[in-house]
Amino acid sequence: MTDIIVIGGGIAGLSAAARLSEDARVTVLEMESATGYHASGRSAALIEENYGAVSVQALNHASIDYLRDANDGYLTQRGLLIVAEDHDGAAFAADVKTMGVTRIKATEACEMVPILDPGQVHFAGYHAEAFDIDTDRLMQDFIRSVRANGGQIITDAIVTDIRQTAQGWVVKAGEEYTAPTLVNAAGAWADLIAGIAGVTPLGIVPHRRSMARIAAPGGHDLSRWPMFFGTGESWYAKPDAGALIVSPAEEHATHPHDAFADDMVLAEGLARYQNMVTPEVTRPLATWAGLRSFAPDRTLVLGRDPDVPEFVWCAGQGGYGFQTSPGASQLLADLVMGRPPQIEPAMVAALIPDRLRP
């Protein structure tokens, strides 16, 4: 028997387990053969504090010091650049307002990213305070914390049954595991896990996002380039290990599964990227997709279920899982352990599952 079972070994489950393990015995169940297999292993891995809904930004602010300072820090400066054609002025102005960038000259943008086509870039905005996150080291450090505190992480643990008894939750995942408290950090499978447990789902829906890795355009050194976006996040490109990740940034509602890229959608996104740069796009080195899961109001769901308080939600991270993980996991642990949360009450109210119940 353990105190808390966490279902899901992505960044949400691992960070929550690490925080909870400071006060309780925790067991993490991950259905895949390795942690971080699905959305967590397919993340753009960037934090920009002004990105996301107001409640997401509150978690970003609560996370940035940890990401910058804990364990020698996990951040490397990247920067964020938005570029737009002459007919996209209104959309560009909206992005400037919502993403906190500062207008710069188109020529400055082309200096930052020399493959941009000067004939296409009419508007540009830049924000230096956007950072790459060392996602693998962050996850591994959370894993080390769980184990150092006496917790365990079990892979290949496919949950087939969950029932609540007088002794607590009994979760069958090959073997049976029992605990008074169950944390649902199952990502795209969060509503499915709730249903198996007899808890009313919250309407969390996974959305596919496709990505391609292409060789460094023109043989450039991309290491100092910012991540750059089309207006309305119609596409983005991010340097990664000497290559460039390009995504159409689509959100296609789907079902929980091991996602793969949609070739047609990916081709359309690459065409939008191609329209703004001069080098011809060659055959991708690799393609893949991830599932970003959203609650109906597109913000995270953290805390005890109002109808079944022994069932705890840690879900709906969308594309914000890594950047919010320190703040979100601390809030979750505070709520589960009955401590006053460290973020303001209005933001807590915007994040707890009560808001989604009639």
Of the candidates 23, 22, 18, which has an alpha carbon nearest to the alpha carbon of residue 35?
18
Q: Which CATH superfamily is domain 80-127+205-292 in?
A: D-Amino Acid Oxidase, subunit A, domain 2 (3.30.9.10)
Residue ranges per domain, the chain?
4-66+134-204+296-356, 80-127+205-292
d(CA 149, CA 351): 27
Report the pLDDT value the prediction gives residue 100, as an integer from 0 to 100: 82
The total number of residues shown for the chain amounts to: 358
State pLDDT tens for residues 89-134: 999 999 998 888 999 999 999 999 999 999 999 999 999 999 999 9
Q: Which residues of the chain have pLDDT under 50?
A: 41
Pick the CATH number of 4-66+134-204+296-356 from 3.40.50.20, 3.40.50.300, 3.40.50.150, 3.50.50.60: 3.50.50.60
d(CA 223, CA 243): 9
Predicted local distance difference test score (pLDDT) of residue 358: 79
pLDDT value for 42: 56
Burial class, 176, CB count within 10 angstroms (exposed 0-12 / middle 13-18 / buried 19+): exposed
Residue type, 347: M
Closest CA to 226 of 48, 57, 74, 353: 48
pLDDT given for residue 294 in this prediction: 96
Q: How many CB atoms lie within 10 A of CB 263?
A: 11
Query: For 145, what's the count of Cα atoms within 13 Å in the CB-facing half-sphere?
Result: 20
pTM equals 0.94
Q: How much is the pLDDT for 40?
A: 53
| Cα distance between residue 29 and residue 227, in whole Å | 34
The DSSP element (H or E) to which 281 belongs, if any, is none
